[in-house]
Amino acid sequence: MFLLYTNLYSYNFFVLISTFMKILISFALSLLSAVAYAQNATKQAFLFAEKQTDVMLKEVTKTGSSKSTKLIPRTLDVNGNLVLIPSSDWVSGFFPGELWYLYEYTHNKKWLAVAKKYTAYIEPERYNKNTHDIGFMIYCPVGNGYRLTKNSYYKNVIIAAAKTLSTRFNPKVGCIKSWDNNKQWNYPVIIDNMMNLELLFEATKLSGDSSFYKIAVTHANNTLKNHFRPDHSSYHVVNYDPVSGKVLQKQTHQGYADESAWARGQAWALYGYTMCYRETKNPAYLKQAEWIAKYILNHPHLPEDKVPYWDFNAPDLTKAPRDASAAAIIASALYELSTYSTDAKKLNKEADKIINNLSTKYQPAPGGSKGFILLHSTGHKPAGSEVDVPIAYADYYYLEALLRQKRLANSRSAL
C-alpha cells in the first residue's frame, strides 16, 4: 500500500512538472515568436526608411543649389514641393538626426558619411543665442553623432551649445526664454522647451560643469509648477514677468484654445519629463510623466489607432486633421517610460499600437512624398501652416521609437 501511494505521488509530481515545463516552453516560444515578429517589422520599417531617404537626398540635390544655404528638408508645401530650410530654422537638426538613426540600425558607412555631412551644416548654430531650439537643432544630430562615434569634436560642440542656451536662462523666472521679439508676451516659455533640457544634462556629464544641470532642473521644476492643469494636460505658453518672475498669462498658441490640449504639446511634456526622470531620478518627474501618459491614453477623443487629432479638444473631430508627429513622439516616450514605470506592459502595448499604425496607415507609397517617411502631421493649424503634411520631426521620432522598440525586444529575448 505504501509503495502504491509513493508511486502515485511520484507520478502526479512528474505530471505536474511536465505540465509546468510545457507551459514554460510555450511561453518562451510565444515570447520568441513575438520578438521575431517585432524584429521583422522593425527591419521592414527601416528598409522603407532607407529607400525613402535615398529619394529625399536626390530631391534635396535637385531642389537646392550648390550656393544655397537652404539645405535641410523640412516639409512639403501645398503644391507638394519640397521645402528646404537653413540651419537657423528650428527644424534643421531632425533630418541629420534621422541619418544617424539609419546608421545606428544598419551600421552602413554610407549613412555615417551622409550623417556627418548634414550634421556639419548645423554645427554653426551652437553659437546662436537667438533661439531656445538650439537643443533640437544641435542635440538631435550632434548628440547622436557623439553617442555613436565618441568623436571629441562633437563633445565640444555640445558643450558650446549648452553654454549658448544657458544665456537664455533668467534666474528670476527660473526658466529658459522661448521666443524673442514678440510683443504679445513679456517672457514666453513654451512646453516644447522641455525637449531642449537634454542638451544641458548631457553637457554637465561631458564637462563636469554642474551649472547646466542646475538650469535644466530649475526649468523643469518651474514648468511642472506652472504649465499643468489639474487634469495633467499642459498649456502651450506661460508668459512671465521677467523682473518679478510672476506668471502673467497661460495660453495655447498652436492649439485650438487657451484651455485646450494641443496634441504635440502633450507629447513634448510626456517625453520631456520622462527624459528628466532618466537624468535626475527625481520621482516627481516620473509621476508627472505617468500622469501625462494616462491623460493621453485615456482621453475620450484619442482615436482608436492612437494617432491623435491635432488638438484633443478640436471642435469638429470628423474634419480635424491628425498629427502623426505627436504620435511618434508619444510612442518614443512611452517606450522609455516603460523602462521606469510599474505599468510597463500597458505602456509597451500602447506604444506598439502607435508604431504599428504609423507603419501601416501613415506612410506614402514607396518613393512618394519626396522621400518623407510619415504622412499626416500638423504643424500650426491656427496659422494654416503645415496642415496634414509630412514633417521632418515626425520621421525623426518615428525612427527613434523603432530603435527603442528594438532594444526592448532584444532585452526581453535575452531574459
Rounded to whole angstroms, the Cα distance separating 311 from 252 reads 10
What count of other Cβ atoms lies within 10 Å of the Cβ of residue 305? 16
Joined grid coordinates for residue 52: 525613402
DSSP character at residue 320: P
In DSSP terms, which residues pair with 75 in a beta bridge?
83, 391
In the chain the first and final C-alpha atoms are separated, in Å, by 45
Residue 292 and residue 347: Cα distance in Å, rounded?
12
CA 234 to mean position of chain CA atoms? 17
Collapsed DSSP state (helix, strand, coil) of residue 257: coil
Distance separating alpha carbons of residues 221 and 317, to the nearest angstrom:
34
Q: How far apart are CA 350 and CA 331, in angstroms?
A: 8
Which residues are CB-contacts of 271 (< 8 A; sequence separation ≥ 6)? 194, 195, 329, 330, 332, 333
From 384, 375, 371, 329, select the one nearest 351 (Cα to Cα): 329
Residues tagged active-site? 133, 192
Q: How far apart are CA 69 and CA 360, in angstroms?
A: 35
